[in-house]
Amino acid sequence: MEPETTPLLLTDVSGHVENKYKSIWNDFCEESNRLWKIAGPAIFTALCQYSLGALTQTFTGLVDEVDLAAVAVENSVVAGFAFGFMLGMGSALETLCGQAFGAGQIRMLGIYMQRSWVILLTTACILSVVYVFATPILLLVGETEEISAVAGKFALWMLPQLFAYALNFPIQKFLQAQRKVSVMAWISFAVLIFHAFFSWLLILKLGWGLVGAAITLNTSWWLIVIGQLGYIFYTKSDGAWSGFSWLAFSDLWGFIKLSLASAVMLCLEFWYLMLIIVITGHLKNPLIPVDAVSICLNIQGWDVMIALGFNAAISVRVSNELGAGNAKLAKLAVWVVSVTCMVIGVICFAVVLATREYFPYLFTNSDAVAKETSKVAIMLAFTVLLNGLQPVLSGVAVGAGWQALVAYINIGSYYIVGLPAAILLGFTLNLGPEGIWAGMLVGVVLQTSILIWVTSSRNWIKEAKEAESRVQKWGGSSVIPEE
């Protein structure tokens, strides 16, 4: 009997192992499918909205060099500052709406969105001071008088965009939490087509210059807001919208604290790499290094849009599953998105390295600038590799509600370690823009490493319980059965 039993046992063990791996693969594929349904449209939306400012710069640059510089400075410094802060404030809704939706408390999503509107519109009123005094602020940071004057005038004309941000970001988080990302994608695409045509018509054909740029850019952002609101008001968003309510003005302090934590966390990330160009401007003979860094940051910007799509997707997945009490699925979602994004990061890393001698000529005719860009592109390649994981981990943090913790991690990693390292390598060791970027990269590596440790060491059952408490605190009911 012995000889017959042994092969049978080996067959059973082999079959068990095979079934186990097949089950893991099936779970991975199912979660990957859920992830891409959110990430795909979210990436497309981010690219369309990023293209609004990029197209405005392109058309303006065909008219006048000073106007181009003014639009670029307003977009990157003034509007960039406001965009980062408002996006961060609005990201508090990723935690609250996502967990409430997962918990089945659909009615609270509209209330949360209205509370966020109150906070962000108030914030927009405060930030409008930056737009009004843009000229002296730009002079203070070292911009030329000519560019500062024109950019300051353009910033005043762009005040309507600031208030569009205040409404748009809460709306997007409201829709993302319900996985209604395709609606945002279609609206953004339609507005992008409108924007491209009217930018050509007003800026080039009619010769309105900066006035035409301001009209089209403001109008496009408000069309996005109006289109999304029209969808929400018409469909009632499956019960998530039940009309305006005075409840929007209750529990504001808790919202403000979470919103500020979200803003600090995301702004510290959003502004960090932007500092590279500011620091590079203080090198001796900075023109060529600044041009080279600007080209690499342009590539980085497009790559970040892809990362932001996955950031939104994992935030939705984690917050939904924690809100529903599904700790196991939340953990699975983190692993699946991490593997997916690292594969994409490796591909982007290889593409940048393989094309570093060629892509600079898409942006410049100067051999000196192209040569310097090729050198800096090595650091860019490692940056896009890290972009495969770092924004995803930040999305996990937002979905789970760890914004305050990550804000402290970002301060330590970026500004206590990374920034001094950039100054040391770039100036003290005379490594130029490559050294500055490498130093900043040290901060990103440290922050990513800490976030990996934080994410992998978390007790996800405990996180689900905390999500239950958060939903109860702001109007929900218990959804997690006692064990």
Render 181-238 in DSSP notation, one character per residue: HHHHHHHHHHHHHHHHHHHIIIIIIS--HHHHHHHHHHHHHHHHHHHHHHHHHHHGGG
Residues 234 and 285 reside in one and the same domain:
no
Instruction: Count the neighbouring beta carbons within 10 Å of the beta carbon of residue 384.
Output: 26
Residues 51 and 110 reside in one and the same domain:
yes
Domain span at residue 167? Answer: 38-260
CB 442 within 8 A of CB 451: no
Residues 308 and 414 reside in one and the same domain:
yes
Residue 168 pLDDT class (50, 70, 90 cuts): very high
Of 136-145, 220-229, 273-282, 348-357, the range with the lowest mean pLDDT is: 273-282
Residues 224 and 299 reside in one and the same domain:
no
The verdict on residue 62 lying in a domain is yes
Residue 327 has pLDDT above 90, yes or no: no
Mean local confidence (pLDDT), 132-136? 93
Residue 130 has pLDDT above 80, yes or no: yes
Residue 152 has pLDDT above 70, yes or no: yes
Taking only the tens place, the pLDDT of each residue in 12-33 is 556 665 676 777 888 888 888 8
Supply the pTM of this predicted model. Answer: 0.78
Residues 231 and 298 reside in one and the same domain:
no
CB neighbours of 150 closer than 8 A, spacing ≥ 6? 66, 67, 69, 70, 210
Residues 143 and 284 reside in one and the same domain:
no
Measured distance CA(144)–CA(153) in Å, rounded: 14
Taking only the tens place, the pLDDT of each residue in 302-320 is 788 888 788 778 878 887 7
Q: What percentage of the chain reaches a pLDDT higher than 90?
A: 27
Where is pLDDT greater, at 480 or 178?
A: 178
Return the closest-CA partner of residue 53 out of 228, 213, 169, 186. Answer: 213
Residues 278 and 354 reside in one and the same domain:
yes
Mean local confidence (pLDDT), 218-238? 93
The verdict on residue 220 lying in a domain is yes
Nearest 5°: phi and psi at 240?
A: -75, -20
Residue 475 has pLDDT above 70, yes or no: no
The verdict on residue 265 lying in a domain is no
What's the total number of domains in the chain? 2
Residue 282: DSSP 8-state? T
DSSP characters for 411-466? Answer: IIIIIIIIHHHHHIIIIIS--HHHHHHHHHHHHHHHHHHHHHHHHHH--HHHHHHH
Question: Given 260, 289, 324, which residue is the final one in a domain?
Answer: 260
pLDDT at position 482, please?
38
The verdict on residue 29 lying in a domain is no
Mean local confidence (pLDDT), 72-90? 81
Mean local confidence (pLDDT), 107-117? 88
Residue 467 has pLDDT above 70, yes or no: no
CB 32 within 8 A of CB 336: yes
Mean local confidence (pLDDT), 31-39? 87
pLDDT at position 233, please?
92
CB 394 within 8 A of CB 314: no
Residue 477 has pLDDT above 60, yes or no: no
Residue 483 has pLDDT above 60, yes or no: no
Measured distance CA(110)–CA(152) in Å, rounded: 36
Structure tokens, 231: 């969808």
Residues 101 and 47 reside in one and the same domain:
yes
Residue 62 has pLDDT above 80, yes or no: no
Is residue 15 classed exposed, middle or buried when 0-12, 13-18 and 19+ CB atoms within 10 A define those classes?
exposed
Mean local confidence (pLDDT), 156-175? 94
Residue 178 has pLDDT above 70, yes or no: yes
Residues 102 and 229 reside in one and the same domain:
yes
Measured distance CA(44)–CA(375) in Å, rounded: 30
Where is pLDDT greater, at 395 or 482?
A: 395
pLDDT at position 15, please?
61
Return the closest-CA partner of residue 177 out of 355, 322, 339, 342. Answer: 322
CB 209 within 8 A of CB 71: no
Q: What share of residues in the chain are helix, strand, coil (percent, to 5)? A: 85, 0, 15
Mean pLDDT over the full length of the chain? 82
